[in-house]
A = this chain, B = another copy of it.
Amino acid sequence: MESLDRTDRKILELLQQDCRITIKELAEKLHLSNTPVYERVKKLERSGIIKNYVAVLDPEKIDRSMVVFISVSITKHTRDVVQKFETEVLALPEVMEFYITSGNFDAMLKIMVKDMHAFQHFIQEKLSKFEYITRFNSTFVISSAEKIGYDL
């Protein structure tokens, strides 16, 4: 992390909120001309601090209102089995995130589905196909809130 100054942090803050802001607008907010802002943004992209720019969709509007965390235990823990499991599970459209974790279980999945019926279908038709899973436990999300970006 090559030291970010006040200006860089402000740029990152604004781009995390809305990455379609123009260089011109950024420059105005920072009381600078286009050039230094443009150069700083490009540098932040080249250094990899800014990984990418993505459109965020509304889960409700695309039938993904239901969020469930599923903790799972698996039989084998060799590198290739875990890797294969990760790849296959992430290929399922319902699975959004995959974590190898400490604690009583070995891994945790975050899934997003339309409703309870879709959840049931996921468990019965998809998750149960994985031979390596010995047990699992579902935690339903009643409400959620997340931060827009990182505080720098």
Contact = CB atoms under 8 A, between A and B. Distances in A.
Given A56-B53, A146-B98, A48 B20 contact: no
A52 to B, nearest CB: 5
Given A48-B61, A151-B93, A152-B62, A143 B54 contact: no
Interface in A94-119: 95-103, 108, 112
A63 interface: yes
A54 B53 contact: yes
Looking at chain A, what size class is its interface with the partner chain?
A: 35 or more
A143 B90 CA distance: 14
Nearest to A13: B55
A139 interface: yes
Given A98-B145, A143-B100, A53 B51 contact: no
Copies in the complex: 2
A1 B69 CA distance: 25
A102 B61 contact: no
Given A19-B19, A54-B54, A62-B152, 14 more contacts: A1-B62, A1-B63, A18-B54, A19-B55, A49-B62, A53-B53, A53-B56, A54-B56, A54-B148, A69-B99, A96-B147, A99-B144, A100-B144, A102-B139
Q: Which 5 A-B pairs have the closest CB atoms?
A: A15-B55, A93-B151, A102-B140, A19-B55, A97-B146
